């Protein structure tokens, strides 16, 4: 400390840094808004359908998708978004004996990048509470009756981890990837429907 307590230059420097931070903050806010707009404009079930159709036609892609959802999305130029906190994508595949359903029991966590905004029923307390206790009953209310031998697993999404159901490929004579994608429904990707 100098005797005459000359903090002038320090104060000036602090103000300068503050101004820079403020300018930077505004810049970040604008960039964030722009990124968010672009993200929401692209977020729809069509993205999830693209991912699923690719997995159906390319078994190696399906393997990579199930092993590391986020990395596989990048191959298609997609990402989970999520801003500050990156979202982990876990893809769960339906089989002849396994069916998967997604929920967020706590609130409404959902893979928005791949499905767009969530439907109202997904956020309802009735769905969140009941699908865990009685998945078969809830699925039946959606018109989805699964054979008794099919085991149903309910995946509880969180801020960090989001789930996407990989439905079984419908038994139709279609092999074109875009045509296959058109067969994929939002509820099929949530697991409340089969295709
Ligand atoms: Fe949630």
What is the spatial distance between Cα 29 and Cα 39, in angstroms, rounded to a whole number?
15
Closest to 85 measured CA to CA, from 160, 161, 162, 163: 160
Residue 1 CA to ligand 1 centre (angstroms): 53
Q: What angle do CA 162, 166, 172 make, to 5 degrees?
A: 155
CA dihedral sign of residues 28, 75, 63, 177? positive
Show the domains of the chain with their CATH numbers: 43-190 (3.90.330.10)
Q: Which residues are known catalytic residues?
A: 104, 107-109
* Two tokens, residue 130: 């009941």
Q: In angstroms, what is the span from residue 128 Cα to ligand 1's centroid?
A: 10
Q: Which two tokens stand for residue 30?
A: 């604008």
Q: Please report the pLDDT score of residue 2 as a whole number.
A: 44
Q: How far is the CA of 103 from the centre of ligand 1 (A)?
A: 8
Do residues 138 and 185 make contact, with C-beta atoms less than 8 angstroms apart?
A: no
CA–centroid distance, 104 to ligand 1, in Å, is 5
Measured between alpha carbons, how far is 105 from 95 in angstroms, rounded to an integer?
A: 24
pTM of the model: 0.81
Give 30 Cα–ligand 1 centroid separation in angstroms.
27
pLDDT by position in tens, the chain (length 195) = 444 555 666 677 777 777 777 777 766 777 777 777 777 778 899 999 999 999 999 999 999 999 999 999 999 999 997 666 779 999 999 999 999 999 999 999 999 999 999 999 999 999 999 999 999 999 999 999 999 999 999 999 998 999 999 999 999 999 999 999 999 999 999 999 999
Q: And the tokens for 173?
A: 């004579």
CA of 167 from ligand 1 middle (Å) equals: 22
Which positions ≥6 away from 114 have C-beta within 8 Å? 43, 45, 47, 48, 51, 73, 78, 80, 89, 164, 189
Q: Which residues pair with 163 in a beta bridge?
A: 90
CA–CA gap between residue 145 and residue 194 (Å, rounded): 9
* Dist. CA 37 → ligand 1 center (Å): 21
């Amino acid at each position: 400390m100098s005797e005459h307590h000359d903090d002038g230059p320090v104060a000036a420097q602090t103000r300068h840094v503050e101004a820079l931070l403020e300018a930077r903050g505004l810049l970040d806010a604008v960039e964030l808004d722009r990124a968010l707009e672009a993200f929401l404009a692209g977020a729809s079930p069509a993205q999830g359908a693209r991912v699923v159709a690719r997995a159906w036609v390319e078994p190696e892609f399906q393997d990579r998708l199930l092993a590391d959802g986020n990395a596989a999305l990048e191959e298609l130029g997609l990402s989970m978004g999520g801003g500050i906190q990156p979202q982990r994508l876990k893809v769960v595949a339906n089989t002849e004996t396994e069916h998967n359903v997604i929920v967020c029991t706590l609130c409404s966590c959902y893979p928005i990048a791949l499905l767009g905004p969530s439907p109202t029923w997904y956020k309802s307390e009735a769905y969140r509470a009941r699908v865990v206790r009685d998945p078969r009953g809830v699925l039946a209310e959606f018109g989805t009756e699964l054979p008794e031998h099919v085991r149903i697993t309910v995946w509880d999404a969180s801020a960090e981890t989001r789930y996407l159901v990989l439905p079984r490929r419908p038994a139709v004579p279609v092999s074109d990837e875009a045509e296959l994608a058109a067969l994929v429904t939002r509820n099929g990707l949530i697991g409340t429907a089969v295709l």
